[in-house]
Protein backbone atom coordinates (compact mmCIF):
# COMPACT_ATOMS: atom_id res chain seq x y z
CA UNK A 1 0.00 0.00 0.00
CA UNK A 2 2.29 2.75 -1.25
CA UNK A 3 1.53 6.39 -0.56
CA UNK A 4 1.23 8.90 -3.39
CA UNK A 5 2.17 12.48 -3.88
CA UNK A 6 -0.73 14.68 -4.81
CA UNK A 7 -0.87 18.31 -5.68
CA UNK A 8 0.22 20.65 -2.92
CA UNK A 9 0.09 17.98 -0.19
CA UNK A 10 2.69 15.28 -0.72
CA UNK A 11 2.00 11.90 0.85
CA UNK A 12 -1.78 12.12 0.77
CA UNK A 13 -3.65 9.29 -0.97
CA UNK A 14 -6.57 10.18 -3.24
CA UNK A 15 -9.92 9.21 -1.72
CA UNK A 16 -11.26 6.85 -4.41
CA UNK A 17 -7.97 4.98 -4.67
CA UNK A 18 -7.57 4.58 -0.90
CA UNK A 19 -11.15 3.45 -0.48
CA UNK A 20 -10.83 0.83 -3.22
CA UNK A 21 -7.56 -0.38 -1.69
CA UNK A 22 -9.12 -0.63 1.77
CA UNK A 23 -12.11 -2.59 0.47
CA UNK A 24 -9.79 -4.96 -1.41
CA UNK A 25 -7.97 -5.69 1.87
CA UNK A 26 -11.15 -6.53 3.78
CA UNK A 27 -12.98 -9.86 3.68
CA UNK A 28 -16.43 -10.68 4.97
CA UNK A 29 -16.49 -12.14 8.49
CA UNK A 30 -19.93 -13.60 7.98
CA UNK A 31 -21.47 -16.49 9.94
CA UNK A 32 -25.03 -17.52 9.11
CA UNK A 33 -27.76 -17.57 11.70
CA UNK A 34 -31.53 -18.03 11.61
CA UNK A 35 -33.75 -15.43 13.28
CA UNK A 36 -37.47 -14.81 13.51
CA UNK A 37 -38.90 -11.97 11.42
CA UNK A 38 -39.42 -10.01 14.66
CA UNK A 39 -35.63 -10.05 15.20
CA UNK A 40 -34.59 -9.67 11.58
CA UNK A 41 -34.71 -5.88 11.12
CA UNK A 42 -31.34 -4.47 10.01
CA UNK A 43 -29.73 -7.89 9.56
CA UNK A 44 -28.10 -8.89 6.28
CA UNK A 45 -29.82 -11.64 4.34
CA UNK A 46 -27.54 -14.73 4.16
CA UNK A 47 -29.38 -16.64 1.42
CA UNK A 48 -31.42 -15.64 -1.60
CA UNK A 49 -35.14 -15.73 -0.98
CA UNK A 50 -37.26 -17.60 -3.56
CA UNK A 51 -40.98 -17.13 -3.39
CA UNK A 52 -42.65 -20.21 -1.83
CA UNK A 53 -45.97 -19.23 -3.44
CA UNK A 54 -47.62 -17.20 -6.16
CA UNK A 55 -48.36 -13.64 -5.05
CA UNK A 56 -51.24 -13.11 -5.23
CA UNK A 57 -52.15 -16.76 -5.03
CA UNK A 58 -55.69 -16.27 -6.40
CA UNK A 59 -57.36 -13.78 -8.75
CA UNK A 60 -58.93 -10.99 -6.70
CA UNK A 61 -60.49 -7.59 -7.03
CA UNK A 62 -58.53 -4.33 -6.87
CA UNK A 63 -61.72 -2.32 -6.15
CA UNK A 64 -64.95 -2.36 -4.16
CA UNK A 65 -67.71 -2.86 -6.74
CA UNK A 66 -69.17 -5.61 -8.90
CA UNK A 67 -67.55 -8.63 -10.56
CA UNK A 68 -69.01 -9.50 -13.95
CA UNK A 69 -68.32 -11.05 -17.36
CA UNK A 70 -66.84 -8.60 -19.88
CA UNK A 71 -68.83 -10.44 -22.56
CA UNK A 72 -72.04 -9.09 -20.98
CA UNK A 73 -71.05 -5.46 -21.58
CA UNK A 74 -72.88 -3.29 -22.57
CA UNK A 75 -75.57 -4.60 -20.22
CA UNK A 76 -78.30 -2.14 -21.09
CA UNK A 77 -80.99 -3.91 -19.09
CA UNK A 78 -78.68 -4.38 -16.07
CA UNK A 79 -77.06 -7.43 -14.48
CA UNK A 80 -78.72 -9.65 -11.91
CA UNK A 81 -76.95 -9.50 -8.50
CA UNK A 82 -76.48 -13.11 -7.37
CA UNK A 83 -74.16 -12.90 -4.35
CA UNK A 84 -71.27 -11.30 -2.49
CA UNK A 85 -67.53 -11.97 -2.32
CA UNK A 86 -65.77 -10.43 0.69
CA UNK A 87 -62.04 -10.60 1.51
CA UNK A 88 -61.68 -13.90 3.35
CA UNK A 89 -65.23 -15.01 2.36
CA UNK A 90 -65.31 -15.96 -1.32
CA UNK A 91 -68.53 -16.38 -3.31
CA UNK A 92 -68.73 -20.08 -3.99
CA UNK A 93 -71.09 -20.01 -6.96
CA UNK A 94 -70.40 -19.24 -10.61
CA UNK A 95 -71.31 -16.02 -12.40
CA UNK A 96 -73.46 -16.91 -15.40
CA UNK A 97 -74.40 -14.74 -18.40
CA UNK A 98 -76.29 -11.61 -17.31
CA UNK A 99 -75.21 -11.94 -13.66
CA UNK A 100 -72.84 -10.10 -11.34
CA UNK A 101 -71.50 -10.43 -7.77
CA UNK A 102 -70.94 -7.69 -5.20
CA UNK A 103 -67.15 -7.77 -4.54
CA UNK A 104 -64.76 -6.00 -2.17
CA UNK A 105 -61.09 -5.11 -2.60
CA UNK A 106 -58.95 -8.21 -2.07
CA UNK A 107 -61.89 -10.62 -2.34
CA UNK A 108 -61.52 -13.65 -4.63
CA UNK A 109 -62.93 -13.28 -8.14
CA UNK A 110 -65.89 -15.64 -8.47
CA UNK A 111 -65.76 -18.31 -11.16
CA UNK A 112 -67.04 -17.02 -14.48
CA UNK A 113 -66.31 -13.32 -13.74
CA UNK A 114 -63.32 -11.66 -15.38
CA UNK A 115 -63.88 -7.92 -14.84
CA UNK A 116 -64.66 -5.55 -11.95
CA UNK A 117 -66.52 -2.24 -12.11
CA UNK A 118 -66.07 0.27 -9.25
CA UNK A 119 -69.26 0.84 -7.30
CA UNK A 120 -69.04 4.59 -8.03
CA UNK A 121 -69.71 3.73 -11.70
CA UNK A 122 -72.74 1.53 -11.00
CA UNK A 123 -76.33 1.94 -9.83
CA UNK A 124 -78.03 -0.89 -7.97
CA UNK A 125 -81.82 -1.19 -7.80
CA UNK A 126 -83.83 -4.19 -6.58
CA UNK A 127 -80.90 -6.56 -7.03
CA UNK A 128 -80.20 -5.34 -10.58
CA UNK A 129 -76.94 -3.50 -11.23
CA UNK A 130 -76.70 -0.91 -14.03
CA UNK A 131 -73.23 0.04 -15.34
CA UNK A 132 -72.93 3.80 -15.92
CA UNK A 133 -69.57 3.91 -17.75
CA UNK A 134 -67.62 2.12 -20.44
CA UNK A 135 -65.70 -0.93 -19.25
CA UNK A 136 -62.34 -2.35 -20.30
CA UNK A 137 -62.45 -6.17 -20.29
CA UNK A 138 -60.38 -7.53 -17.38
CA UNK A 139 -60.17 -4.20 -15.53
CA UNK A 140 -59.49 -4.02 -11.78
CA UNK A 141 -58.56 -7.70 -11.51
CA UNK A 142 -55.29 -8.72 -9.79
CA UNK A 143 -54.09 -11.92 -11.41
CA UNK A 144 -52.34 -14.87 -9.69
CA UNK A 145 -48.52 -14.44 -9.63
CA UNK A 146 -48.67 -10.96 -11.18
CA UNK A 147 -46.44 -9.74 -8.30
CA UNK A 148 -44.29 -12.88 -7.75
CA UNK A 149 -44.42 -16.38 -9.17
CA UNK A 150 -43.66 -19.43 -7.03
CA UNK A 151 -39.89 -20.13 -7.22
CA UNK A 152 -39.06 -16.59 -8.44
CA UNK A 153 -36.06 -14.78 -6.91
CA UNK A 154 -37.42 -12.16 -4.51
CA UNK A 155 -34.25 -10.94 -2.76
CA UNK A 156 -30.59 -11.65 -3.36
CA UNK A 157 -28.32 -12.61 -0.45
CA UNK A 158 -26.53 -9.61 1.04
CA UNK A 159 -29.36 -7.13 1.16
CA UNK A 160 -30.12 -5.29 4.38
CA UNK A 161 -33.49 -6.18 5.85
CA UNK A 162 -35.52 -2.99 6.18
CA UNK A 163 -39.22 -2.43 6.82
CA UNK A 164 -40.14 -3.06 3.17
CA UNK A 165 -38.14 -6.30 2.97
CA UNK A 166 -39.73 -7.49 6.24
CA UNK A 167 -43.21 -6.85 4.87
CA UNK A 168 -42.50 -8.83 1.71
CA UNK A 169 -41.01 -11.75 3.70
CA UNK A 170 -44.07 -11.74 5.90
CA UNK A 171 -46.39 -11.67 2.87
CA UNK A 172 -44.66 -14.87 1.73
CA UNK A 173 -45.58 -16.53 5.03
CA UNK A 174 -41.97 -16.75 6.23
CA UNK A 175 -41.61 -16.91 10.02
CA UNK A 176 -37.82 -17.12 10.02
CA UNK A 177 -35.05 -15.91 7.80
CA UNK A 178 -31.42 -16.82 7.28
CA UNK A 179 -29.14 -13.88 8.12
CA UNK A 180 -25.51 -13.14 8.94
CA UNK A 181 -24.74 -12.50 12.57
CA UNK A 182 -24.32 -8.79 13.36
CA UNK A 183 -20.85 -7.30 13.27
CA UNK A 184 -19.19 -6.63 16.61
CA UNK A 185 -17.36 -3.33 16.77
CA UNK A 186 -15.40 -1.79 19.65
CA UNK A 187 -15.56 1.97 19.96
CA UNK A 188 -13.36 4.28 21.98
CA UNK A 189 -12.41 7.92 22.19
CA UNK A 190 -8.87 8.95 23.03
CA UNK A 191 -7.93 12.26 24.62
CA UNK A 192 -6.97 13.62 28.06
CA UNK A 193 -9.25 16.59 27.37
CA UNK A 194 -12.39 14.48 27.03
CA UNK A 195 -15.11 14.26 29.63
CA UNK A 196 -18.41 12.44 29.45
CA UNK A 197 -21.48 14.71 29.39
CA UNK A 198 -22.57 15.32 32.99
CA UNK A 199 -18.99 15.52 34.31
CA UNK A 200 -17.37 18.78 35.37
CA UNK A 201 -15.03 20.36 32.83
CA UNK A 202 -11.56 21.47 33.99
CA UNK A 203 -9.81 24.25 32.03
CA UNK A 204 -9.01 22.95 28.53
CA UNK A 205 -11.50 20.07 28.70
CA UNK A 206 -14.32 19.38 26.26
CA UNK A 207 -17.16 16.91 26.14
CA UNK A 208 -16.72 13.69 24.15
CA UNK A 209 -19.19 14.02 21.29
CA UNK A 210 -17.70 11.62 18.76
CA UNK A 211 -18.41 8.40 20.63
CA UNK A 212 -22.15 8.94 21.00
CA UNK A 213 -22.49 10.04 17.37
CA UNK A 214 -20.53 7.11 15.97
CA UNK A 215 -22.36 4.74 18.30
CA UNK A 216 -25.67 6.04 16.94
CA UNK A 217 -24.54 5.41 13.36
CA UNK A 218 -23.36 1.90 14.27
CA UNK A 219 -26.64 1.13 15.98
CA UNK A 220 -28.55 2.29 12.91
CA UNK A 221 -26.42 -0.18 10.93
CA UNK A 222 -27.37 -3.09 13.20
CA UNK A 223 -23.87 -3.41 14.69
CA UNK A 224 -23.24 -4.76 18.22
CA UNK A 225 -21.17 -2.05 19.88
CA UNK A 226 -18.58 -2.70 22.58
CA UNK A 227 -18.22 0.75 24.13
CA UNK A 228 -14.74 1.09 25.66
CA UNK A 229 -15.37 4.68 26.72
CA UNK A 230 -12.72 7.39 26.93
CA UNK A 231 -9.07 6.31 27.00
CA UNK A 232 -6.40 8.75 28.21
CA UNK A 233 -3.53 9.88 25.97
CA UNK A 234 -1.36 7.20 27.49
CA UNK A 235 0.38 4.64 25.24
CA UNK A 236 0.07 1.82 27.80
CA UNK A 237 -3.67 2.32 28.26
CA UNK A 238 -4.26 2.66 24.52
CA UNK A 239 -2.21 -0.50 23.83
CA UNK A 240 -4.17 -2.45 26.45
CA UNK A 241 -7.50 -1.26 25.05
CA UNK A 242 -6.53 -2.16 21.45
CA UNK A 243 -5.30 -5.64 22.34
CA UNK A 244 -8.31 -6.42 24.53
CA UNK A 245 -10.73 -5.22 21.87
CA UNK A 246 -8.99 -7.05 19.01
CA UNK A 247 -9.68 -10.41 20.69
CA UNK A 248 -13.38 -9.74 21.00
CA UNK A 249 -14.60 -7.84 17.95
CA UNK A 250 -14.53 -7.72 14.15
CA UNK A 251 -13.44 -4.08 14.01
CA UNK A 252 -12.14 -1.33 16.25
CA UNK A 253 -13.10 2.30 15.72
CA UNK A 254 -11.18 4.99 17.56
CA UNK A 255 -11.47 8.75 17.51
CA UNK A 256 -8.61 11.17 18.01
CA UNK A 257 -4.87 10.87 18.24
CA UNK A 258 -4.21 10.04 14.59
CA UNK A 259 -2.46 13.27 13.66
CA UNK A 260 1.11 14.30 14.38
CA UNK A 261 0.77 15.95 17.80
CA UNK A 262 2.93 15.05 20.79
CA UNK A 263 0.05 13.14 22.42
CA UNK A 264 -1.26 11.50 19.22
CA UNK A 265 -0.53 7.82 19.97
CA UNK A 266 -3.22 5.97 18.01
CA UNK A 267 -1.23 5.40 14.84
CA UNK A 268 1.99 4.60 16.73
CA UNK A 269 0.27 1.90 18.82
CA UNK A 270 -1.53 0.52 15.77
CA UNK A 271 1.85 0.18 14.07
CA UNK A 272 3.27 -1.55 17.15
CA UNK A 273 0.52 -4.11 17.84
CA UNK A 274 -0.89 -4.44 14.32
CA UNK A 275 -0.37 -3.14 10.83
CA UNK A 276 -1.13 0.21 9.17
CA UNK A 277 -2.83 -0.15 5.79
CA UNK A 278 -2.80 3.53 5.05
CA UNK A 279 -2.73 6.83 6.86
CA UNK A 280 -3.46 10.32 5.55
CA UNK A 281 -5.84 10.86 2.70
CA UNK A 282 -6.35 13.72 0.28
CA UNK A 283 -9.73 14.53 1.80
CA UNK A 284 -11.14 17.38 3.81
CA UNK A 285 -12.35 16.87 6.44
CA UNK A 286 -10.57 13.75 7.63
CA UNK A 287 -7.02 13.92 6.31
CA UNK A 288 -5.37 11.85 9.09
CA UNK A 289 -7.83 8.93 8.87
CA UNK A 290 -5.97 5.66 9.55
CA UNK A 291 -6.88 2.18 8.33
CA UNK A 292 -5.21 -1.02 9.39
CA UNK A 293 -5.65 -4.24 11.32
CA UNK A 294 -4.71 -5.88 14.58
CA UNK A 295 -4.59 -9.61 13.95
CA UNK A 296 -7.86 -10.43 12.17
CA UNK A 297 -9.57 -7.32 13.51
CA UNK A 298 -10.01 -4.35 11.15
CA UNK A 299 -8.97 -0.98 12.52
CA UNK A 300 -10.39 2.44 11.66
CA UNK A 301 -8.80 5.49 13.28
CA UNK A 302 -11.14 8.46 12.92
CA UNK A 303 -9.65 11.92 13.34
CA UNK A 304 -10.65 13.66 16.57
CA UNK A 305 -12.21 16.75 14.97
CA UNK A 306 -15.94 16.01 15.21
CA UNK A 307 -16.88 16.78 11.59
CA UNK A 308 -13.87 14.77 10.39
CA UNK A 309 -14.89 11.81 12.57
CA UNK A 310 -18.48 11.76 11.30
CA UNK A 311 -17.61 12.35 7.64
CA UNK A 312 -14.82 9.75 7.50
CA UNK A 313 -17.10 7.25 9.21
CA UNK A 314 -19.62 7.82 6.45
CA UNK A 315 -17.13 7.91 3.55
CA UNK A 316 -14.86 5.05 4.57
CA UNK A 317 -16.05 3.06 7.57
CA UNK A 318 -19.62 2.64 6.30
CA UNK A 319 -18.56 0.84 3.07
CA UNK A 320 -15.89 -1.10 4.97
CA UNK A 321 -18.44 -2.38 7.49
CA UNK A 322 -20.66 -3.42 4.58
CA UNK A 323 -17.81 -5.49 3.16
CA UNK A 324 -17.13 -7.12 6.56
CA UNK A 325 -20.85 -7.80 7.08
CA UNK A 326 -21.39 -9.40 3.67
CA UNK A 327 -23.74 -6.57 2.68
CA UNK A 328 -24.35 -5.56 -0.94
CA UNK A 329 -23.64 -1.88 -0.48
CA UNK A 330 -25.12 0.71 -2.80
CA UNK A 331 -23.03 3.89 -2.67
CA UNK A 332 -25.24 6.95 -2.10
CA UNK A 333 -26.63 8.60 -5.23
CA UNK A 334 -25.04 11.89 -6.17
CA UNK A 335 -26.92 14.78 -7.74
CA UNK A 336 -25.99 17.99 -9.51
CA UNK A 337 -27.00 21.31 -7.93
CA UNK A 338 -26.36 24.98 -8.60
CA UNK A 339 -24.18 26.72 -6.01
CA UNK A 340 -26.33 29.53 -4.63
CA UNK A 341 -23.32 31.21 -3.04
CA UNK A 342 -19.58 30.70 -3.37
CA UNK A 343 -17.81 27.79 -1.63
CA UNK A 344 -14.16 28.32 -0.72
CA UNK A 345 -11.97 25.40 -1.78
CA UNK A 346 -8.21 24.99 -2.20
CA UNK A 347 -6.85 22.39 -4.65
CA UNK A 348 -5.14 19.39 -3.04
CA UNK A 349 -7.85 17.50 -1.15
CA UNK A 350 -11.30 16.27 -2.13
CA UNK A 351 -13.62 18.38 0.00
CA UNK A 352 -16.94 17.20 1.45
CA UNK A 353 -18.43 20.53 2.45
CA UNK A 354 -21.65 20.77 4.42
CA UNK A 355 -24.60 22.24 2.55
CA UNK A 356 -28.32 22.80 2.49
CA UNK A 357 -29.87 21.71 -0.80
CA UNK A 358 -33.24 23.06 -1.87
CA UNK A 359 -35.52 22.82 -4.87
CA UNK A 360 -35.55 26.15 -6.73
CA UNK A 361 -38.57 27.84 -8.33
CA UNK A 362 -37.60 26.40 -11.73
CA UNK A 363 -37.61 22.85 -10.27
CA UNK A 364 -33.83 22.43 -10.29
CA UNK A 365 -31.66 21.90 -7.22
CA UNK A 366 -29.64 24.62 -5.52
CA UNK A 367 -27.22 24.41 -2.59
CA UNK A 368 -25.69 26.83 -0.13
CA UNK A 369 -23.20 26.24 2.71
CA UNK A 370 -24.71 25.66 6.16
CA UNK A 371 -22.06 27.70 7.87
CA UNK A 372 -18.36 27.73 8.59
CA UNK A 373 -16.64 24.72 7.04
CA UNK A 374 -14.07 24.05 9.78
CA UNK A 375 -13.64 20.44 10.90
CA UNK A 376 -14.60 21.40 14.46
CA UNK A 377 -17.87 23.14 13.48
CA UNK A 378 -20.31 20.31 14.09
CA UNK A 379 -23.38 22.57 13.98
CA UNK A 380 -22.81 23.11 10.24
CA UNK A 381 -22.96 19.32 9.74
CA UNK A 382 -25.98 18.93 12.00
CA UNK A 383 -27.86 21.57 9.98
CA UNK A 384 -26.79 20.18 6.60
CA UNK A 385 -28.93 17.97 4.41
CA UNK A 386 -26.12 17.21 1.97
CA UNK A 387 -22.38 16.77 1.57
CA UNK A 388 -20.80 18.37 -1.47
CA UNK A 389 -18.28 16.25 -3.37
CA UNK A 390 -15.73 18.82 -4.55
CA UNK A 391 -13.04 17.07 -6.54
CA UNK A 392 -9.46 17.06 -5.27
CA UNK A 393 -7.85 19.33 -7.83
CA UNK A 394 -10.51 21.99 -8.16
CA UNK A 395 -10.41 25.43 -6.52
CA UNK A 396 -13.16 27.78 -5.34
CA UNK A 397 -16.75 27.27 -6.45
CA UNK A 398 -18.35 30.42 -7.82
CA UNK A 399 -22.05 31.14 -7.31
CA UNK A 400 -24.02 29.73 -10.25
CA UNK A 401 -21.63 26.82 -10.91
CA UNK A 402 -22.92 23.25 -10.90
CA UNK A 403 -21.58 21.06 -8.09
CA UNK A 404 -22.01 17.40 -7.13
CA UNK A 405 -23.63 16.53 -3.83
CA UNK A 406 -25.04 13.59 -1.92
CA UNK A 407 -28.15 13.98 0.24
CA UNK A 408 -27.75 12.95 3.87
CA UNK A 409 -31.10 14.09 5.22
CA UNK A 410 -33.03 11.22 6.84
CA UNK A 411 -29.96 9.01 6.53
CA UNK A 412 -28.24 7.39 9.50
CA UNK A 413 -25.73 10.29 9.57
Ligand X SMILES: Nc1nc2c(c(=O)[nH]1)N[C@H]1C(S)=C(S)[C@@H](COP(=O)(O)OP(=O)(O)OC[C@H]3O[C@@H](n4cnc5c(N)ncnc54)[C@H](O)[C@@H]3O)O[C@H]1N2
Q: Of 208 and 250, which has the nearer Cβ to ligand MOO? A: 208
Which backbone phi and psi does 205 adopt, to 5 degrees?
Answer: -85, 160
Distances (CA, A) of 50 to 2, 55, 156: 45, 12, 9
CA-based nearest residue to 40, from 158, 175, 199, 216: 175
Q: Of 82 and 232, which has the nearer Cβ to ligand X? A: 232
Residue 277 CB, nearest approach to ligand X (Å): 17
Q: Are 385 and 409 in contact (CB under 8 A)?
A: yes
Exposure string over 139-156, b if 16+ CB within 10 A, otherwise e: ebbbebeeebeeeeebbe
Q: Cα separation of 151 and 380, whole Å?
A: 50
Q: Which does 355 bind (CB under 5 to 8 A by kind): ligand MOO, ligand X, none?
A: none
Q: Of 165 and 387, which has the nearer Cβ to ligand X? A: 387
Biggest alpha carbon distance in the chain?
Answer: 95
Residue 255 CB, nearest approach to ligand MOO (Å): 12
Q: Cα separation of 299 and 267, whole Å?
A: 10
Residue 375 CB, nearest approach to ligand X (Å): 5
Q: Are 214 and 302 in contact (CB under 8 A)?
A: yes
Q: Which does 256 bind (CB under 5 to 8 A by kind): ligand MOO, ligand X, none?
A: ligand X
The C-alpha angle 183, 188, 189, rounded to 5 degrees, equals 145
Q: Of 261 and 295, which has the nearer Cβ to ligand MOO? A: 261
CA-based nearest residue to 7, from 352, 404, 288, 350: 350
Residue 219 CB coordination number (10 Å): 13
Q: Which does 274 bind (CB under 5 to 8 A by kind): ligand X, ligand MOO, none?
A: none
Residue 348 CB, nearest approach to ligand MOO (Å): 11
Residue 368 CB, nearest approach to ligand X (Å): 24
What residues line the site for ligand MOO (CB under 6 A)? 284-287, 303, 305, 308, 375
Q: Of 150 and 379, which has the nearer Cβ to ligand X? A: 379
Residue 313 CB, nearest approach to ligand MOO (Å): 12
Q: Which does 259 bind (CB under 5 to 8 A by kind): ligand MOO, ligand X, none?
A: ligand X
Q: Are 104 and 64 in contact (CB under 8 A)?
A: yes
Name the residue whose CB lies closest to ligand X: 304
Q: Which does 115 bind (CB under 5 to 8 A by kind): ligand X, ligand MOO, none?
A: none
Q: Which does 304 bind (CB under 5 to 8 A by kind): ligand MOO, ligand X, none?
A: ligand X
What residues line the site for ligand X (CB under 6 A)? 189, 191, 193-194, 206, 208-211, 255-261, 264, 285, 287-288, 303-306, 308, 375-376
Amino acid sequence: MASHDCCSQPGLRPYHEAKADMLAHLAAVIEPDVVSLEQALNHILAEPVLSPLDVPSFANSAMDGYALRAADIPADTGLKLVGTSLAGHPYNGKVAAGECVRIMTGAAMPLGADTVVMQENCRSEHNVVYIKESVNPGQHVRHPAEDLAQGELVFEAGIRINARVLSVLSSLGMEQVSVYRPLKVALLSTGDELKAPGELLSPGDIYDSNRIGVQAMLTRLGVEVLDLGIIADDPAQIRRAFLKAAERVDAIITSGGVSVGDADYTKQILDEVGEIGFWKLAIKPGKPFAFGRIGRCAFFGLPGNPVSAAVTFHLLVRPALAKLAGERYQPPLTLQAKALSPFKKAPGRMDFQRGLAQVLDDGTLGVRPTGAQGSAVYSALAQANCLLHLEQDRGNVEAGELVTLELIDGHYL
